[in-house]
């Protein structure tokens, strides 16, 4: 009687093991019973593989406050000590009232189930203990395919026997309290809530340790058939749940856990289901675009899993605590400044990123439209590149002139070195510009102009302050297109769509679509005296076991510190003598550059202090070249045209003032005048003064580079346009 001895052992009570053996042996289909009876000869503990439960991951801002979460299933694991006693009492009363008295199998329950099964001619009642139910839930959660899931819940004696073997192992390995804790955390209660903590919050808006008698009885009643009693579905399901709740209350009174009067009083109460919304993903976060950036950082990093599927499971099932660089005060400042000037209902959208110099930490990401799929919302990340859930971006215009300025200073030019330029620029030949492969790509067939017609003698300073296109094309020809491209790359410049930077004659006029995070990071490097740090959003990840992995900034010295100092010196004049003089500064040392693309297709401002850098873009996501920023109403105000200093500049100004409030003003390191001061004297009859009207005019698209397409998700990228089909050439960048 090996089977009998094993059954007696697992029963854990001095009752007739033959009853259980008989229960295992009886099957509704002839022949199966003999097979099951034979199987009882091997009824012994079998290890249950218990992979970690899927648990939500929480994202924290820099102050440690949660602002987003990721999850595959909504679950929050809690210890048994954080579950109300009345909840433990209710679940045991209705599911397994002898839980603390029997072993893996309740002999009395098995005998009762056997009698019902015999009369029904099949398996109509399982008589499962809480331990067996836990085993069943583990097997169900482990199942990968629909066939495996069906097998985990099929009503057969073979499945029950398998449960018993695993239950024996579980009872040998854990205490009763540990088993109850595991069961309460794995059980599904309905309404999308997995585990008692999630259920308490979803059903009643309280934590598991705050559950009342009525609430506990409701949850205890839900676990038997969570789908048919799901209160989120409708009235019929809520009515069933009410019946189950009252059944639990009656059972608790019958067992003497509560009095009859307490049961009657509780049964008189309404169901009380609140239907607290499930925690949302990024779309429900107050920092949705930052949330998207964090998500994509993990999904794109092989160190978090060999495949994207593995990384997704790591993020959505791992129960992680993700600490980030998000500064809630700076986020609020950016949100307020943008929404004050650009409405969500406007066709053009504004986007802004704030980056800390010297670390690359992204402090805020804001946009004029919320993230989501509803009307006036955006379904992709307006602030970031394609790799981080963004679109193809907008041409940054004259913000790219800064790279040419840096290249000139690196080659030994002084801030007052200059040249005489005309109102228009035409390359002298194809070899006037060569890309980094040494190929001549100059275009002597078209003329690039300054919109205001300004020309004359311009220095590095006055040419920058006035943002003179013809000057910067001449300067780029002098320092070399490839050297300018290399400088941009050293400072982190890249296209938003992930393609290689287009190396065209008009590179300096900002014809490569980019995003605010990338541009702000480039300018942050200048603020940090030439130290470029890759954009950083995550500072640490702590797993469910408390193991913490910290992340450090990824920085390198990209530019000579003194070159960066001289660049900051020149760009500081943009606020007082250049294209931002009508807007003004921020009451502390600051530097920056406006940018407007061809025919006012998009507008930018990028700038920095030693403590913070930021970039703001404005463009129409329906297609920047097709829908220009001319004759438009933005933020309730009509604009005949929108340049970099029109809206982007004021947004940058207000954001920086508020974001840096309370931060002591830090001066820039003074320019080394011995190295960069002075310069060539201007030719006779020429002046070295800034133009009367700054000529920071639109930068044109490059030959061979399309731009008249939506700046939306990557699947909307434009097709390449053959050279012969292009007629528009760059005019000027503001």
- What tens digit of pLDDT does each residue of 14-34 get? 333 333 444 443 333 333 444
Q: What is the CATH number of domain 2-53+74-267?
A: 1.10.3810.10
Q: Where does the chain hold its CATH 1.10.3810.10 domain(s)?
A: 2-53+74-267
Quickly count: other Cβ atoms within 10 Å of residue 693's Cβ.
13
Look up tokens 């399309």; give the residue.
Answer: 706
For residue 148, name the pLDDT band (cuts at 50, 70, 90): confident
pLDDT > 70? residue 719: no
The 3-class secondary structure across 556-613, one letter per residue, is EECCCHHHHHHHHHHHHCCCCCCCCCCCCCCCCCCEEEEEEEHHHCEEEEEEECCCCE
Query: Residue 201: its pLDDT value, please?
Result: 97
Q: Work out the average pLDDT over 527-550.
A: 97
Break the chain down into helix, strand, coil percent, rounded to 5.
40, 15, 45
For residue 549, name the pLDDT band (cuts at 50, 70, 90): very high
Write out the two tokens for 534.
Answer: 């890759």
Instruction: Report d(CA 658, CA 596) in Å as an integer.
Output: 25
Q: Work out the average pLDDT over 698-705.
A: 42
For residue 1, name the pLDDT band (cuts at 50, 70, 90): very low
Q: Is residue 433 within 8 Å of 413, Cβ to Cβ? A: no
pLDDT > 60? residue 120: no
Instruction: Report d(CA 382, CA 449) in Å as an integer.
Output: 31
Find the helix packing angle between 235-254 and 213-222, rounded to 10°.
Answer: 110
Instruction: Report d(CA 354, CA 655) in Å as an integer.
Output: 9
Q: Work out the average pLDDT over 381-409.
A: 96
Whole-angstrom Cα Rg for the chain = 34
Query: Residue 278: its pLDDT value, please?
Result: 87
Write out the two tokens for 599.
Answer: 């025919």
Runs of H (alpha helix) within 280-353: 288-299, 308-317, 328-341
Query: Looking at per-residue confidence, does 720 or 285 come out higher?
Result: 285
Write out the two tokens for 472.
Answer: 């910067």
Query: Residue 714: its pLDDT value, please?
Result: 38
Q: Work out the average pLDDT over 264-288.
A: 93
Instruction: Report d(CA 91, CA 107) in Å as an integer.
Output: 19
Query: Looking at per-residue confidence, does 127 or 70 come out higher?
Result: 70
Write out the two tokens for 119.
Answer: 């009369």
Among 511, 487, 512, which residue's Cα sits nearest to residue 500?
A: 512
Q: Work out the average pLDDT over 576-597.
A: 95
Sequence-ordered list of residues with C-beta below 8 angstroms from that of 725, at least 6 positions apart, any chain: none
Sequence-ordered list of residues with C-beta below 8 angstroms from that of 151, at least 6 positions apart, any chain: 143, 159
* 3-class secondary-structure state, position 114: helix
pLDDT > 70? residue 67: yes
Among 57, 656, 662, 70, which residue's Cα sits nearest to residue 363?
A: 656
Instruction: Report d(CA 325, CA 142) in Å as an integer.
Output: 35
Instruction: Report d(CA 2, CA 8) in Å as an integer.
Output: 10
Write out the two tokens for 647.
Answer: 């809206």
Q: Work out the average pLDDT over 201-221.
A: 98
- Number of C-alpha atoms within 13 angstroms, CB side, residue 538? 23
The 3-class secondary structure across 360-388, one letter per residue, is CEEEEEEECCEECCCCCEECCECCCCHHH
Write out the two tokens for 618.
Answer: 């404005």
Query: Residue 591: its pLDDT value, please?
Result: 98
**How distant, in Å, are the alpha carbons of 334, 538, 614 from that of 517?**
13, 15, 8
For residue 507, name the pLDDT band (cuts at 50, 70, 90): very high
Superfamily of domain 365-537+553-725: DD-peptidase/beta-lactamase superfamily (3.40.710.10)
Please name the helix (run of DSSP H) or strand (run of DSSP E) that holds residue 324, with its range, or none.
strand 321-324
User: Which neighbouring-strand residues pair with 548?
Assistant: 542
- What tens digit of pLDDT does each residue of 431-468 get? 999 999 999 999 999 899 886 557 899 999 999 999 99
Instruction: Report d(CA 658, CA 651) in Å as an integer.
Output: 11
For residue 560, name the pLDDT band (cuts at 50, 70, 90): very high
Instruction: Report d(CA 96, CA 113) in Å as an integer.
Output: 13
Q: Where does the chain hold its CATH 3.40.710.10 domain(s)?
A: 365-537+553-725
Query: Looking at per-residue confidence, does 150 or 184 come out higher?
Result: 184
* 3-class secondary-structure state, position 243: helix
Instruction: Report d(CA 12, CA 33) in Å as an integer.
Output: 24
Instruction: Report d(CA 104, CA 533) in Å as an integer.
Output: 58
φ/ψ of residue 61, rounded to 5 = -80, -175
Quickly count: other Cβ atoms within 10 Å of residue 309's Cβ.
10
- Number of C-alpha atoms within 13 angstroms, CB side, residue 709? 18
Find the helix packing angle between 107-120 and 17-25, rounded to 10°.
Answer: 30
Mean pLDDT of the chain: 86
Query: Residue 107: its pLDDT value, please?
Result: 65
Among 406, 422, 505, which residue's Cα sits nearest to residue 464?
A: 406
Distance, first Cα to last Cα, the chain: 93
- What tens digit of pLDDT does each residue of 621-679 get? 999 999 999 999 999 999 999 999 999 999 999 999 999 999 999 999 999 999 999 87
Among 398, 458, 399, which residue's Cα sits nearest to residue 423?
A: 458
Sequence-ordered list of residues with C-beta below 8 angstroms from that of 35, at least 6 positions apart, any chain: none
Torsion of CA 484, 486, 492, 497, to 10 degrees: 90
Region of poorest pLDDT, from 224-233, 279-288, 633-642, 676-685:
676-685
With 0.75 as the threshold, say if the pTM is over it: yes
Write out the two tokens for 616.
Answer: 């703001």
């Amino acid at each position: 009687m090996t089977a009998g001895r094993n059954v007696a052992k697992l029963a854990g009570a001095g009752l007739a093991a033959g009853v259980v053996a008989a229960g295992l042996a009886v099957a509704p289909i002839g022949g199966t019973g003999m097979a099951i009876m034979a199987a009882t000869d091997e009824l012994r503990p079998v290890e249950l593989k218990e992979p970690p439960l899927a648990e939500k991951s929480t994202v924290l801002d820099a102050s440690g406050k949660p602002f987003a979460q990721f999850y595959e299933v909504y679950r929050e694991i809690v210890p048994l000590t954080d579950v109300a006693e009345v909840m433990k009492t209710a679940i045991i009363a209705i599911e397994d009232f002898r839980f603390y008295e029997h072993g893996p199998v309740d002999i009395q329950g098995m005998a009762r189930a056997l009698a019902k099964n015999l009369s029904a001619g099949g398996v109509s009642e399982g008589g499962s203990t809480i331990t067996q139910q836990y085993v069943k839930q583990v097997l169900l959660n482990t199942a990968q395919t629909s066939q495996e899931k069906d097998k985990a819940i099929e009503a057969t004696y073979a499945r029950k026997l398998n449960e018993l073997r695993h239950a024996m192992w579980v009872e040998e390995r854990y205490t009763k309290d540990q088993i109850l804790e595991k069961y309460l955390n794995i059980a599904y209660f309905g309404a999308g809530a997995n585990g008692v903590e999630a259920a308490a919050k979803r059903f009643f808006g309280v934590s598991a340790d705050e559950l009342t008698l009525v609430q506990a009885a409701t949850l205890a009643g839900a676990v038997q058939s969570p789908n048919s009693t799901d209160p989120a579905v409708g009235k019929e399901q809520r009515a069933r749940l009410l019946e189950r709740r009252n059944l639990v209350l009656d059972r608790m009174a019958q067992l003497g856990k509560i009095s009859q009067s307490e049961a009657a009083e509780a049964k008189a109460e309404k169901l009380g289901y609140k239907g607290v919304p499930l925690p949302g993903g990024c779309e429900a976060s107050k920092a949705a675009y930052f949330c998207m950036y964090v998500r994509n950082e993990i999904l794109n990093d092989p160190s978090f899993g060999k495949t994207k599927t593995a990384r997704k499971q790591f993020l959505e099932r791992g129960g992680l605590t993700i600490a980030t660089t998000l500064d809630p005060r700076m986020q609020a400042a950016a949100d307020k400044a943008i929404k004050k000037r650009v409405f969500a209902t406007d066709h053009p959208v504004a986007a802004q990123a704030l980056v800390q110099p010297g670390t690359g930490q992204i402090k805020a990401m804001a946009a004029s439209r919320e993230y989501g799929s509803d009307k006036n919302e955006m379904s992709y990340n307006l602030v970031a590149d394609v790799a981080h859930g963004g679109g193809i971006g907008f041409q940054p215009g004259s913000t790219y002139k800064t790279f040419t300025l840096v290249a000139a200073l690196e080659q030994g030019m002084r801030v007052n070195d200059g040249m005489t330029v005309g109102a228009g620029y035409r390359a002298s030949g194809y070899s006037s510009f060569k890309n980094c492969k040494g190929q001549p790509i100059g275009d002597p067939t078209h003329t690039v102009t300054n919109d205001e017609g300004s020309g004359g003698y311009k220095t590095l300073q006055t040419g920058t302050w006035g943002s003179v296109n013809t000057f910067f094309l001449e300067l780029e020809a002098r320092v070399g297109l490839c050297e300018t491209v290399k400088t941009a790359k050293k400072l982190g410049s890249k296209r938003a769509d992930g393609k290689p930077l287009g190396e065209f004659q008009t590179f300096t006029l900002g014809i490569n679509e980019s995003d605010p995070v990338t541009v702000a990071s480039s300018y942050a490097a200048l603020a940090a005296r030439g130290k470029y740090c890759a954009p950083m959003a995550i500072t640490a990840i702590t797993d469910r076991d408390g193991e913490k992995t910290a992340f450090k900034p990824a920085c390198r010295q990209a530019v000579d510190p003194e070159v960066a100092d001289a660049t900051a010196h020149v760009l500081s004049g943009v606020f007082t003598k250049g294209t931002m003089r009508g807007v003004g500064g921020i009451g502390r040392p600051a530097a920056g550059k406006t940018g407007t693309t061809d025919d006012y297709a998009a507008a930018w401002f990028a700038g920095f202090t030693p403590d913070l850098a930021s970039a703001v873009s404005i463009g129409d996501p329906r297609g920047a070249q097709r829908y220009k920023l001319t004759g438009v109403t933005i933020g309730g105000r009509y604009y005949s045209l929108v340049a970099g200093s029109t809206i982007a500049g004021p947004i940058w100004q207000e954001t920086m003032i508020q974001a840096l409030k309370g931060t002591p003003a830090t001066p820039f390191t003074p320019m080394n005048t011995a190295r960069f001061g002075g310069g060539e004297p201007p030719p006779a009859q020429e002046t070295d003064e800034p133009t009367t009207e700054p000529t920071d005019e639109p930068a044109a698209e490059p030959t061979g580079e399309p731009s008249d397409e939506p700046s939306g998700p990557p699947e909307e990228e434009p097709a390449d346009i053959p050279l012969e089909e292009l007629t528009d050439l760059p005019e000027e960048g503001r």
